[in-house]
Amino acid sequence: MYCGICHTDLHHVKDDWGITMYPIVPGHEITGVITKVGSNVKNFKLGDRVGVGCLAASCLECEFCKNSQENYCDQIQFTYNGIFWDGTITYGGYSEMLVADHRYVVHVPDNLPMDAAAPLLCAGITVFSPMKDCQLLESPGKKVGIVGLGGLGHVAVKMAKAFGHQVTVISTSPSKENEAKQRLGADYFLVSTDAKQMQVGNSLICFFEE
């Protein structure tokens, strides 16, 4: 099993939000290989490469659950520090094995290394989702702006480039320009504290109205 480290893990470990149920096993960017399946599970088999993200369970009946927006369900339970169907506390991916409901498990394609795939289950989906909502997956050639080049930002740059867009990274750190352009393939880099650069940025980014 592989598991990414999300900043949320650190908040939970330190009980920053006052909701941690100790003992806690963090980790919600998980990939692994299936070693056992329940008798009613049809979409997965032994040996399948799979991923598990932030969600362990939800009500499955509300408007959100029925529209693939389980993350908005008010009975949502998370991969760790949540309450599973059987009433037990959920434990996350910093572990040698994990029990998950098949409805919250995804297949990992063969051409995607398991270690690189793990962070896509939280950091990746977080930046993928707005791109999908803005129809950026099927309409290349847009001008995409990405604010911040951290754990999420660098994934966003790679995805936006892969979907064929012109990418501008906006950062407070001038030292990240090389990484943005050379390593990740961004087209432009703006330092957000530089008013002049930001003015130029207006022409580098498309704005959407919701």
Nearer to Zn ion, 66 or 194 (CB): 66
What is the rounded CA–CA span in Å between residue 158 and residue 141?
A: 15
Q: Which of 13, 41, 62, 205 binds Zn ion (CB under 5 A)?
A: 62
Task: Decide if residue 52 touches Zn ion (CB under 5 A).
Answer: no
Compute the least distance from the CB of residue 73 to Zn ion, in Å. Answer: 3
Q: Which of 3, 50, 57, 65 binds Zn ion (CB under 5 A)?
A: 65
Q: Which of 59, 83, 89, 137 binds Zn ion (CB under 5 A)?
A: 59
Task: Decide if residue 13 touches Zn ion (CB under 5 A).
Answer: no
Nearer to Zn ion, 41 or 59 (CB): 59
CA nearest neighbour of 51 among 7, 9, 8, 113? 113
SS3 46: coil
Task: Decide if residue 58 touches Zn ion (CB under 5 A).
Answer: yes
Residues paired with 153 in a beta bridge: none
Q: Phi/psi of residue 148, each to 5°?
A: 95, 130
Q: Which of the residues 67 through 106 are near Zn ion (CB under 5 A)?
A: 73
Whether residue 201 contacts residue 185, with contact meaning beta carbons closer than 8 Å, is answered with no
What is the rounded CA–CA span in Å between residue 6 and residue 22?
A: 18
* Chain residues that interact with Zn ion, rule: CB under 5 A: 6, 8, 58-59, 62, 65, 73, 122
